[in-house]
Chain A
Amino acid sequence: MSTIELTKLIKRYGKVEAVKGIDLAIADGEFVVFVGPSGCGKSTTLRMIAGLEEISGGTLRIGDEVVNEREPKQRNIAMVFQNYAIYPHMTVRQNIGFGLYTSKLDKAEKNRRIEEAGRILGLEALLDRRPAALSGGQRQRAAIGRAMVRNPSAFLFDEPLSNLDAQLRSQMRIEIKRLHQRLKTTTVYVTHDQVEAMTMADRIVVMRDGHILQVGTPTELYESPVDMFTARFIGSPSMNLLPGSKCSIMASTATEGDILIGVRPHDLIARATATDEKTDLSLTGTVTAVEPLGPETLVHLDIDGTAIIATAKDKFVPAVGSTLTCTAARGSLYLFDAKTEKLLSRS
């Protein structure tokens, strides 16, 4: 296990700067998830940590050592790729064992580690099969097995679940998290899926355009986003944003034209009947669509041309086309500067 420290880390491709001097300290045994849209620099950062991309500037430390000039094999890290990188000409056993190809361990120890990885990942019965005979989830488990057997100082995951279907993805999320709790190896995980980030991370790193926007625990990012991008990116469905002019806010700290009001769909409640509850925001619009999810229903509304999503509780499913008023309780509003997109205050 190891700490990983990025100091003013830069990656340039010609004149284009893909990673723009980021700083981050990852603690020993921590599970850190890089999240952000395509092209934000998260995979590039991971590949620099792996040694698969040259570092254009700054310092990368793994443990106490500066590893900028070190080859991937000298960094004692293991990486799991999006397309598994499981070799089709080898059996699962050979694939897992391939992680130990250059190891000086004796054959018995290698076999023991392969068997153990197979057991932990539920692949015992499949060890002698070739990847073509495995499902996507099993292939990804084999790829994780190959990383595990080396006992690396850090695991790097590059969107490992993107090729799996929704059900398998949720199952693998739990398996990877469980594996981390068991092995306690420092893990850096890259994804564009905020649900993966929220459910797996000790800390989330939100990236955009080569910069780190915010680092924090999932709850911190959800509760206290520093800007509009993070607020929209974290949480599903995304936070609603409305121009200040369209809202009847009872307590505002800025003039209406300069601000955008953010409210999460789960905080914006549509009810069948009026309530006496003290609210800060009240919005009335036309229902354009409903998504019943069982315990609650997501209600899509049009507020003077702005689309928002609210939540209807208590099995209330409003009719499409009807007019509905939704309210948000005090403390659930986010006020953003419309120009800088920074969070001004919460209300």
Chain B
Amino acid sequence: MTDTPALSHANIRPGRIIIWTLLFIGGLIMISPLLFMFSTSLKTADQVYDLRLIPAAPTLANYISVLADGRFMRWFLNSMFVAVTVTISNCFFDSLVGYTLAKFEFRGRYFVFIAILSTLMIPTEMLVIPWYLMSSQLGWLDSYWGIMFPGMMTAFGTFLMKQFFETVPNNFIEAARVDGLNEFQIWWKVAMPLVTPALSALAIFTFLGNWTAFFWPLIVTTSKELYTLPVGLSSFAVEQSIQWEMIMTGAAIATLPTLIVFLVLQRYIVRGVMLAGLKG
């Protein structure tokens, strides 16, 4: 009898065992905070410092309590609104600019591209002050637009989309041009459907980035009604003298959309990361 491929010697080489072990340990380190978050959210206040992963008396009381708090739902919806709006905006504008840079010859194209790309080198912390001053002068402080405007179009998204649009054969675009479509129609009807993997990756990264964004929303908002979830949760901690089980419950609920996005779209995330040659 011959070995099945799964049991062949090639598959149980020592090198492979070491790799699997390292990957397992790495995975365990990464997932343990998540497990403790869910575990703590199922504990009562007096069990919080009991570090057992499976609570002695698991309870959903924290979830009921958090969801019953009107502010939490408001922050949840704020985060959802901000993340979805910014994602749609990025998919639209980054693609439009990326397409223009990839498929049109015009004077200064290279300069524009380099200028956009160079903004990637400036850390967010350095941009916050000009953003704040701008928001202040234009009356955007403490508003949804104030939270969203810095991310409505990004250099990263533009770069990603440009790289992908360059792979769309010019003949596709020229054929549509001969068929009578205007440039906007060509972009929308021909080019965009051909870059859906990149568009999906961009949408996922943008959504996740905005869903978890903390620093800028914290600075620009003062009204509690405008807080996004991460900002709201942090205020939760301050005013409630650090009730870890409640914070973990809030965080667990806040994590759900990102988990769902990851699970449903992980194929696109992996492909997007691979094709764009970037880290998430």
> A-side interface residues toward B, CB under 8 Å?
50-52, 71-73, 77-79, 81-83, 85, 87-89, 98-99, 101-103, 143, 146, 150
Contacts and interface: CB of A to CB of B under 8 A. Distances in A.
Given A87-B190, A89-B194, A73 B172 contact: no
B14 interface: no
Given A82-B171, A85-B169, A85-B172, A72 B177 contact: yes
Contacts of A81: 171, 174-175
A150 B179 contact: yes
Interface centre among B176, B177, B179, B194 (most CB of A within 10 A): B179
A73 B190 CA distance: 16
Nearest to B172: A85
Nearest to A90: B193
Contact of B180 (A83, A85, A87, A101): A101
B107 to A, nearest CB: 14
B179 A102 contact: yes
B180 A73 contact: yes
A146 B174 contact: no
Contact of B179 (A52, A83, A89, A98): A98
Given A52-B174, A81-B171, A146-B179, 20 more contacts: A50-B178, A52-B177, A71-B177, A72-B174, A72-B180, A73-B182, A77-B178, A79-B174, A79-B178, A83-B169, A85-B174, A89-B193, A98-B189, A101-B179, A101-B180, A101-B189, A102-B179, A102-B180, A102-B181, A143-B175
A82 to B, nearest CB: 7
B248 to A, nearest CB: 44
A23 to B, nearest CB: 24
Interface residues of B, number: 17
A110 to B, nearest CB: 13
Interface string B6-23: 000000000000000000
Contacts of B167: none
Given A88-B194, A101-B189, A73 B171 contact: no
Interface in B146-203: 169, 171-172, 174-182, 185, 189-190, 193-194
Nearest to A52: B174
13 contacts: A72-B177, A72-B180, A73-B180, A73-B181, A78-B178, A81-B171, A81-B174, A87-B193, A87-B194, A89-B194, A98-B176, A101-B180, A143-B175
Nearest to B190: A87
Contacts of A99: 179
A103 B194 CA distance: 23
Contacts of B177: 51-52, 71-73
Nearest to A85: B175
Main secondary structure of the interface of A (DSSP, over half): loop
Contacts of B172: 85, 87
B31 to A, nearest CB: 37
Contacts of B169: 83, 85
A91 B234 CA distance: 51
A343 B178 CA distance: 41
Given A83-B169, A87-B172, A72 B178 contact: yes
Nearest to B169: A83
Nearest to A143: B175
Contact of B178 (A52, A82, A88, A103): A52
A143 B179 CA distance: 12
A74 B171 CA distance: 18
A152 B42 CA distance: 70
A72 B178 CA distance: 5
Contacts of B190: 87
Contacts of B179: 73, 78, 98-99, 101-102, 146, 150
A81 B169 CA distance: 11
B165 to A, nearest CB: 15
Contacts of A71: 177
Nearest to A47: B174
Contact of A73 (B178, B189, B193, B194): B178
A143 B172 CA distance: 11
Nearest to A102: B180
The 9 closest A-B pairs by CB, nearest first: A73-B180, A85-B175, A102-B180, A89-B193, A85-B171, A81-B171, A72-B178, A79-B178, A72-B177
A46 B181 CA distance: 20
A175 B257 CA distance: 55
A77 B193 CA distance: 25
B190 to A, nearest CB: 6
A73 B171 CA distance: 15
A88 to B, nearest CB: 7
B193 A101 contact: no
B207 to A, nearest CB: 23
A116 B185 CA distance: 26
Contacts of A101: 179-181, 185, 189
Contacts of A87: 172, 190, 193-194
B167 to A, nearest CB: 12
Contacts of A82: 171
A262 B16 CA distance: 69
A51 B178 contact: yes
A146 B179 CA distance: 9
